[in-house]
Structure 1
């Protein structure tokens, strides 16, 4: 009888130990994960236009401009979730990559993308010539640029301006080509700019 009681105690102890082990391992980890997925669902970050970090108000355009870096990363321009220029679209090149956008009553229409300097711009449109001369710099200044006057060889520059802009554009970044600070040999690091541009820039 004494042996049978000891066996029962051992079995009870083993059973309790097994239950504790299951509770410790399965419910502490697996059940926690299962319950979160079942009741709360997997957490998904909302996707914003152009892959930006936040959405834009109703009367604003979402944009993202990437300068590119040497031959490592190509430049790209996204406007209102439409990629106008990129390596994938195969419409970029060295030098100035320019996209003209016509905003009209809350909508936008990409007129044309120019991956290279043009000698024969479309009618009623002024575009840079092959060289960044004083006339070209003056034009970008009229669009609101603050840095175009200091642009040099192989500088990285991203800019969003508007025709008839009375003030300086807040959407501009510039980094000088400097052999001591360049991230890539002969080229500065990539510049990326995203934000929300008002439909009418004053």
Structure 2
């Protein structure tokens, strides 16, 4: 049986393509290094790309989630043991870089969010209750006061100083004991929202084994609206 003209052309084209494919395979096998072409590499070509979640963006004062627009971020961490010092952060600025033993206090201008001053008041070897009261009273209206203990802040703390802090809104200052971990945020001249975390205390014996007789550190953090005044 004779083949038609079109059949002959198709056969010729098939043979030509087969020859080209064989030549290309021979060329790759002969000239391309074996390490660059592997079955594993060819398998990777057919795989779908793996989508990886981006690393979480760091938030102000190490919050897990950002504060809403128009809010200040704060985080107050007490000391824990001899090595873990107290830290006070406001709008991502560390206000207490080298905290002192006793009660650490930082003052912030609420209208601008700018740091005003900081101090610490030793309450073990000496009584600095009056100096602490003078420092608190020197803060003008429209300021925030952020407080954290480092080591002992209670042994020589006088009742009249506790009453001053209580008048700022503290509910735990009169419960503070030897080496209690205590953190607190207060406002002068305006009221903070009821839903923000303002204070925390820890003097539980159950946590003292962590730091050989010292209570564990505690912290509070949150967001404060800028339009409270």
Instruction: Using structure 1 for the length normalisation, give the TM-score.
Output: 0.69
Report the counterpart of residue 3 of structure 1 in structure 2.
Answer: none
Report the counterpart of residue 187 of structure 1 in structure 2.
Answer: 214
Pick aligned residue for 2:79 from 56, 68, 86: 68
Gaps of 5+ in 1: 1-7
Report the counterpart of residue 4 of structure 1 in structure 2.
Answer: none
1:96-135 → structure 2 map (5 Å cutoff): 96-104=103-111, 107-117=112-122, 119-120=130-131, 121=134, 124-125=137-138, 131-135=156-160
**Quick check: 2:155–2:178 contact (8 Å CA) kept in 1?**
no
Mean CA deviation greater in 63-72 or 166-175: 166-175
Report the counterpart of residue 167 of structure 2 in structure 1.
Answer: 142
Q: CA deviation at 1:48?
A: 1.6
CA RMSD of aligned residues (A): 3.6
**Quick check: 2:197–2:220 contact (8 Å CA) kept in 1?**
no
Instruction: Using structure 2 for the length normalisation, give the TM-score.
Output: 0.62
Larger radius of gyration: 2
Cα 1:59–1:143 change in 2 (3 A) is: farther
Task: Render the CA deviation track for 1:47-104: whole Å, top value 9, x for unaligned.
Answer: 2211211211233210111112111211110101111003xxx3x1111011111212
Pick aligned residue for 1:82 from 82, 87, 93: 93
**Quick check: 1:156–1:177 contact (8 Å CA) kept in 2?**
no
Aligned residues: 174
Report the counterpart of residue 65 of structure 2 in structure 1.
Answer: 54
Q: CA deviation at 1:163?
A: 1.9
Gaps of 5+ in 2: 1-21, 30-36, 123-127, 140-144, 146-152
